[in-house]
């Protein structure tokens, strides 16, 4: 068969919208008055909207893209099986709120295989070599954690032990680009050390994005409605403008990515305080993309959901997630500076790299064996502009800065606004719920916690 190296954008968006935005979502007024407006229908926005709906308050859920899900989207048109174009790993499934809610809605959740493989040239690493690599990985993680206890924040790269030897480049890829979307020189040791351990994972057989879309299925969402302006200091509330009209809300929750905030795609009147602007800049998005290959007859000889790293000597490397959910679909994961530069060259260049790289590791003439192929390019997605946040050196406190409401009317939420679960769908969900609860309290829709009654309120940033 002919290798399909591109995905028709129109058909992809139509297909994903059909899955993600069911008729139950209906239409919402393009203008009017609500109690709470929520900007962005990704995980944080969906969580916030569900919480506001449960409190029986009027709300508007406004989404710039043509579908819900944000950076968590599943589509089946390209390969005929569920393909998560964004988030795929369900970290810490025992505490992940999306995992609990979606399984309650009938979605099958299954554990990821424990551990991973290392490819050394054209063979798998031996047990002793795996032990050496894991020992190096543990020492590196401990060194970063120790550096985070210091008075001054440093980059994760500076914190690494100097004697990692031949395992150094692989350790740096696994902890940096693969884990954070950035090279370790760009990642705060304090931010890295505060993140929750992500060693236990799971997958949704029908896709993470499909599960998230199910949780949004009863919400009225205004899609294809990019917010252009937010006036947030008026006496009567927050005014939000879209190409379809104006919405006035008593409070608003903004769940767009930090890259969208930093790019100024939404105009805030007045401008956001410097503290929030600097916070968004310090929590810039990394780069992380999937290069998906349909490989019938398992030419790589791997098991379902095998995760494979290369013992690399340069940054020109990736990770393999093979035979996803028992299908013939494999993903090559590219990330960090190398991944960003590769993605900038276009989908054809990304697929060419994946074929060449896998051929070097497995010796197969994969060009003839790949049935279909596609690659994501999240840095080019106009309403996202990247993967997920990782704080620069000295930027870890920026997460808490973004948690602070402005004028008791404007909140921020999303994966970047979670101190320990940043970079995860679960963290985004928790952040959205937390912002919704705070906003509901501020407008008097739910009671303050008993412990907080009678205490003077802290003055909020304006």
Separation CA 267–CA 30 (nearest Å)? 19
Mean pLDDT over 295-303 rounds to 96
Q: What is the pLDDT of residue 460?
A: 39
Using the 8-state DSSP alphabet, how is residue 271 labeled? Answer: P
Q: Exposed/middle/buried for 27, CB within 10 Å: 0-12, 13-18, 19+?
A: exposed
12-21 pLDDT, tens per residue? Answer: 333 333 333 3
Q: Which two tokens stand for residue 157?
A: 């790269």
Give the pLDDT confidence of 325-365 residue by residue, as tens digits: 999 999 999 999 999 999 999 999 999 999 999 999 998 78
Q: What is the pLDDT of residue 28?
A: 54
Q: What does the pLDDT look like over 66-104, one tens digit per residue? A: 999 999 999 999 999 999 999 999 999 999 999 999 999
Give the mean pLDDT of 417-438. 97
pLDDT over 60 at 188, yes or no: yes
Segment 269-297 shows an average pLDDT of 97
Is the Cα dihedral 353, 361, 179, 169 positive or negative?
A: negative
Top-confidence residue, 218 or 198 = 218
pLDDT value at 42 more than 80: yes
pLDDT greater than 50 at residue 22 = no
Q: What is the C-alpha separation between 406 and 208, in angstroms, rounded?
A: 32
d(CA 174, CA 169): 9
In 10 A of CB 284, how many CB atoms?
A: 21
How confident is residue 159, by pLDDT bands cut at 50, 70 and 90?
A: very high
Cross-strand partners of 374: 292
- Burial of 349 (C-beta count, 10 Å sphere; 0-12/13-18/19+): middle
**Mean pLDDT, the chain, whole residue set:** 91
Residue 268: per-residue pLDDT: 98
Q: Are 441 and 448 contacting, i.e. CB atoms less than 8 angstroms apart?
A: yes
The full set of domains in the chain, from first to last, is 21-75+208-284+385-452 (3.50.50.60), 113-199+286-380 (3.90.660.10)
Token pair belonging to 9: 């954008």
Residue 320: in which H helix or E strand, if any? strand 319-321
Contacts (Cβ under 8 Å, ≥6 apart) of 122: 360, 361, 362, 363
Predicted confidence at residue 419, as pLDDT, reads 95
Apex CA 393: angle with CA 389 and CA 398, to 5°?
55
Report helix, strand or coil for 454: coil
Which residue would you say has higher pLDDT here, 5 or 126?
Answer: 126
Q: pLDDT over 70 for what percent of the chain?
A: 90
State the Cα–Cα distance between residues 110 and 202, nearest whole angstrom: 6
Provide the percentage of residues in the chain whose pLDDT is more than 90. 86
What is the predicted pLDDT for the residue at 31? 66
Position 323 scores a pLDDT of 98
**Does 431 score more than 60 pLDDT?**
yes
> Is the pLDDT assigned to residue 46 strictly greater than 50?
yes
Q: Where are the alpha helices (DSSP H) in 258-317?
A: 258-263, 274-282
Quick check: 252 and 409 in contact, CB under 8 A? yes
Per DSSP, the chain holds a count of helices (H) and strands (E) of 15, 20
Return the closest-CA partner of residue 275 out of 422, 399, 428.
Answer: 399
């Amino acid at each position: 068969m002919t290798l399909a190296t591109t995905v028709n954008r129109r058909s992809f968006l139509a297909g994903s919208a059909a899955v993600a935005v069911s008729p139950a979502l209906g239409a919402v007024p393009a203008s009017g008055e609500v109690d709470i407006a929520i900007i962005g229908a990704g995980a944080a926005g969906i969580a916030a909207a569900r919480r506001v709906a449960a409190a029986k308050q009027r709300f508007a859920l406004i989404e710039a893209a043509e579908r819900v899900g944000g950076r968590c989207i599943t589509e089946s048109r390209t390969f005929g099986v569920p393909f998560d174009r964004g988030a795929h790993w369900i970290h810490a499934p025992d505490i992940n709120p999306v995992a609990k809610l979606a399984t309650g809605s009938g979605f099958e959740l299954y554990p990821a295989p424990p551990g991973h493989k290392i490819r050394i040239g054209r063979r798998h690493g031996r047990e002793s070599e795996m032990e050496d690599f894991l020992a190096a990985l543990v020492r590196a993680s401990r060194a970063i954690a120790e550096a985070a206890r210091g008075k001054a924040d440093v980059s994760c790269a500076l914190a690494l032990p100097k004697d990692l030897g031949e395992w150094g480049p692989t350790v740096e890829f696994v902890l940096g680009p693969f884990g954070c979307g950035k090279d370790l020189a760009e990642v705060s040791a304090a931010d890295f050390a505060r993140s929750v351990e992500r060693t236990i994972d799971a997958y949704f057989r029908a896709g993470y994005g499909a599960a998230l879309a199910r949780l949004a299925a009863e919400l009225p969402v205004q899609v294809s409605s990019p917010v252009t302006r937010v006036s947030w200091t008026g006496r009567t509330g927050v005014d939000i403008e879209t190409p379809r009209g104006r919405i006035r809300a008593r409070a608003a929750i903004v769940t767009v990515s930090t890259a969208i905030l930093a790019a100024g795609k939404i105009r805030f009147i007045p401008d956001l305080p410097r503290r929030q602007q600097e916070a968004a800049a310090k929590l810039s998005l990394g780069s992380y993309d999937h290069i998906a290959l349909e490989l019938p007859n398992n030419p790589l000889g791997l098991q379902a959901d095998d995760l494979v790293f290369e013992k690399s000597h340069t940054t020109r490397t990736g990770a393999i997630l093979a035979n996803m959910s028992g299908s013939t679909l494999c993903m090559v994961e590219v990330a960090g500076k190398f991944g960003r530069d590769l993605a900038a060259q276009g989908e054809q260049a990304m697929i060419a790299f994946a074929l060449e790289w896998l051929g070097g590791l497995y010796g197969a003439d994969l060009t003839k064996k790949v049935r279909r192929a596609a690659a994501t390019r999240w840095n080019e997605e106009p309403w996202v502009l990247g993967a997920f946040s990782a704080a620069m050196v000295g930027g870890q406190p920026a997460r808490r800065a973004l948690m602070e409401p402005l004028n008791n009317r404007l909140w921020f939420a999303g994966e970047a606004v979670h101190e320990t679960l940043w970079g995860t769908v679960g963290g985004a969900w928790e952040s959205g719920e937390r912002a919704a609860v705070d906003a509901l309290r501020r407008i008097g829709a739910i009671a303050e916690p008993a412990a907080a009654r009678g205490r003077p309120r802290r003055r909020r940033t304006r």
